[in-house]
């Protein structure tokens, strides 16, 4: 599932600051939010990029300046297209700002009496730390105990992705996922655990290589020791 969400990416319009165009970010984004169950496989892998020209040019100009300041020659062949590529990469990696996780969840709610724990394990997480704008990545495990309604399973990795595709700290990312699920699903409880490696620590040698950081956030029934223990055993 997470493989699909990685491949099925389309950068939304990065033109968040000037929206006079008829194609707003949301207008672009929403049709594909509900595609994952219905769209035949070939089109799932079609990559469609929408990058705002103004935003791309503005970021690229600054990237060129960074290249100069670190002692590079932005005019050498290998770097000629780098500012534009970096500008597009950053718009892609922060596309979550243009998406509303609660709306994604609200559209996929179903009435259901099932009241056991629902767990989605090993959701791939790719984010950027807000202190260094360097990647951190790992796995998220998300569980909830429904109270009369459930959500389409593919929406949980989607919500993780929408929050991860922003500048983040791992602690806040963990809580935002919990809170979105808690607010929309109104379940008996939500539990989120994220294990991630931060390149800003690993590459700078702040911590030993391969070290990872684990964060957790729970609500409702998962505050009870027994329920939390069952969740931890299941993700163990």
Question: Residues with catalytic annotation?
Answer: 129-132, 170, 198, 200
CB 9 within 8 A of CB 47: yes
Tell me the three state secondary structure of residue 181. Answer: helix
Side-by-side strand order, sheet with 135-145: 167-168, 118-129, 135-145, 189-198, 213-220
Q: Any alpha helices (H) in 95-144, and if so which ranges?
A: 101-106
Tell me the three state secondary structure of residue 81. Answer: coil
User: Toward Zn ion, which CB reaches closer, 111 or 210?
Assistant: 210
If one counts every other C-beta atom within 10 angstroms of the C-beta of residue 106, the result is: 14
User: Toward Zn ion, which CB reaches closer, 79 or 169?
Assistant: 169
Residue 45: its H or E element: none
Binding residues for Zn ion, per CB under 5 A? 129, 131-132, 200
User: Toward Zn ion, which CB reaches closer, 169 or 232?
Assistant: 169
Report the nearest approach of Zn ion to the CB of residue 199 (Å).
8
Residue 42: its H or E element: helix 41-44
Distance, CA of 50 to CA of 32 (rounded, Å): 13
Distance, CA of 93 to CA of 193 (rounded, Å): 22
User: Toward Zn ion, which CB reaches closer, 138 or 189?
Assistant: 138
Report the nearest approach of Zn ion to the CB of residue 201 (Å).
7
Distance, CA of 218 to CA of 43 (rounded, Å): 37
User: Toward Zn ion, which CB reaches closer, 1 or 167?
Assistant: 167
HSE (side-chain half, CA atoms, 13 Å) at 205: 0
Residue 119: its H or E element: strand 118-129
Angle (nearest 5°) at CA 222 between 219 and 223: 75
Report the nearest approach of Zn ion to the CB of residue 204 (Å).
9
Report the nearest approach of Zn ion to the CB of residue 12 (Å).
25
Comparing every residue's Cβ against Zn ion, the nearest one is 200
Report the nearest approach of Zn ion to the CB of residue 134 (Å).
6
């Amino acid at each position: 599932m997470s493989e699909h969400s990685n491949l099925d990416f389309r950068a939304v319009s990065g033109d968040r600051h000037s929206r006079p165009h008829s194609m707003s970010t949301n207008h672009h984004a929403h049709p594909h939010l509900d595609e994952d169950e219905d769209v035949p496989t070939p089109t799932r892998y079609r990559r469609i990029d929408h990058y705002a020209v103004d935003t791309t040019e503005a970021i690229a100009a600054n990237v060129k300046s960074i290249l100069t300041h670190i002692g590079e020659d932005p005019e050498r062949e290998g770097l000629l297209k780098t500012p534009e590529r970096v500008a597009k990469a950053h718009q892609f990696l922060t596309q979550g700002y243009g998406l509303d996780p609660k709306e994604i969840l609200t559209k996929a709610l179903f009435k259901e009496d099932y009241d056991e724990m629902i767990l989605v394990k090993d959701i791939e997480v790719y984010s950027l730390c807000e202190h260094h704008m360097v990647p951190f990545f790992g796995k998220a495990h998300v569980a909830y105990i429904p109270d009369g309604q459930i959500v389409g399973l593919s929406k949980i990795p989607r919500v993780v992705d929408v929050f991860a595709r922003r500048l983040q700290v791992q602690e806040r990312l963990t809580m935002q996922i919990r809170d979105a699920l808690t607010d929309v699903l109104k379940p008996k409880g939500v539990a989120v655990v994220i294990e991630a490696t931060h390149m800003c620590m690993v590459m700078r040698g702040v911590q030993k290589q391969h070290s990872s950081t684990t964060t957790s956030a729970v609500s409702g029934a998962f505050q009870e020791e027994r329920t939390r223990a069952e969740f931890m055993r299941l993700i163990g």
